[in-house]
Amino acid sequence: MSEDQEAQEDELLALASIYDEEEFHRAESAQGGEIQLCLELPTGFKLLVQGDKKTEYDVSFLPPLVLNFELPGDYPSSSSPVYTLSSKWLSRDQMTSLCKRLDELWEENQGCVVLFTWIQFLKEEALAFLDVKSPLEVVKVAKAPVERKRIEAGMRRAACLTVETDNLDPQLELDARAVLVVDPRTDILPQLLDFDEAQRQKVFDSKSFCCGICFMEKLGLACLCFKECQHVYCKACMTEYFQIQIRDGNVQCLNCPQPKCSSLATPSQVKLLVGEELFARYDRLLLQSSLDLMADVVYCPRQSCCQAVMVEPDTTMGICPACQYAFCTLCKRGYHGLSHCKVTADELRGLRDEYISASAEGKKFMEKRFGKRVIQRAVEESFSRDWLSENCKGCPRCGTNIQKVDGCNKMTCTSCKQYFCWLCLGQLTRVNPYSHFNNPSSPCYNQLFQGVDIEEEDAFWSDEED
């Protein structure tokens, strides 16, 4: 084995020992891999949304930068790693500047392995290098077609975030290795908030807490935290408490057990702890009680918000005053106008059972809400091979059935992690999977977002579908 090969193998083994599988994935067919880098944000970092009024969101995490790389045979003695850098929230101008800095670091360290130096720069120094400061302004994508056309031309080469970039060269040409993985017309704010929420949950899951009911010390993974008051109890105690209350019909009393505390559990927290049958009863009774007692008030379905929303009479659309999420008050997903409420494959069987056991009045309500065709399908079909053939495609590498819910046409197999094209089912390279859509000779040239309906983007960010 040559000195270059030994150095490459040692470097890859070192990266695998330092970073877990979620951060570093080594390629199987080549000397390379993929590194996901979460930048270290300062305490109190905020996102700023401009509009009729300024809105700020506290965030602790932003989606990672993704570095895909392959090591040439003469690395590190002569050649630099071949790489692409992609992001959901940085502009291509900013990523081009980062690529230029990575090239400079290689020139400074030529002859030595450089991947760890790159990683340290991107994780610890990228924000300062780009002069990204709090609050970071998020550009809201206009909903009105006329307004969207007015701003669309100016957003084609920019991401959905604007930051102070005084240190970037205005004459800097865009680097082909800098990849923007989100359509600039997409509202990026829900993705940023949902990612931050998920990462906060991971941190909570790894900590230990003492349950205020059984006084047992347990990891956060086995605990429930009430969002308003931040009181923590173990899931075992809260599951039993919720089940008793729901069976007794006290769906308005799923509050924090702390004396004199009025914090309520969110529907998503209830669904996490009780079975599908009890949650369906809870959801039905809660909806009915809301209609009976406060017909003009619902709650934002996003887990990180849950703000009370006033609804106009005789309408099923709610617009959250806090996060501006427009949703259907019946199914709690993105607002879909006059179209019937959509159901996922996992919900179809429960929908069939609920319809069969419902009263005549209840059946009429369900037919109006979901449409007769959906109800008939739920009752008649067996939810097996027919559904898979209609909604899924097989991974070209391992054959696992994959369903495309949202996003671009670059897919990742949930089983073998192979990248592939949703349109032609061709396998994509790990180093630069987007070259398939950028190559003029490719059958899928310029079709990365083919089939994505921008008008229905909001429907992708419903917490019920996450």
Main-chain dihedrals φ then ψ at residue 9, nearest 5 degrees: -65, -40
In total, the chain counts a number of residues equal to 466
Q: Considering just the CA atoms, what is the radius of gyration of the chain in Å?
A: 25
Residue type, 167: N
Pairing of strands 308-310, 317-319: unpaired
The answer to whether 136 and 161 have CB atoms below 8 angstroms apart is yes
User: CB neighbours (10 Å) of residue 125?
Assistant: 13
| Cis previous bond, 76, omega within 30 | yes
| Cis previous bond, 440, omega within 30 | no
Smallest Cα–Cα separation from 242: which of 344, 462, 234? Answer: 234
Active-site choice (211, 237, 305, 408): 408
The answer to whether 9 and 75 have CB atoms below 8 angstroms apart is no
Quote the CA–CA distance of 290 and 310 in Å, as a whole number. Answer: 12
Residue 234 known to be catalytic: no
The neighbouring-strand residues paired with 393 are 402
Q: In 3-state terms, what secondary structure has residue 318? A: strand
The answer to whether 409 and 437 have CB atoms below 8 angstroms apart is yes
Q: In 3-state terms, what secondary structure has residue 223? A: strand
Quote the CA–CA distance of 91 and 319 in Å, as a whole number. Answer: 29
CA 171 to chain centre: 34
Residues identified as active-site: 408
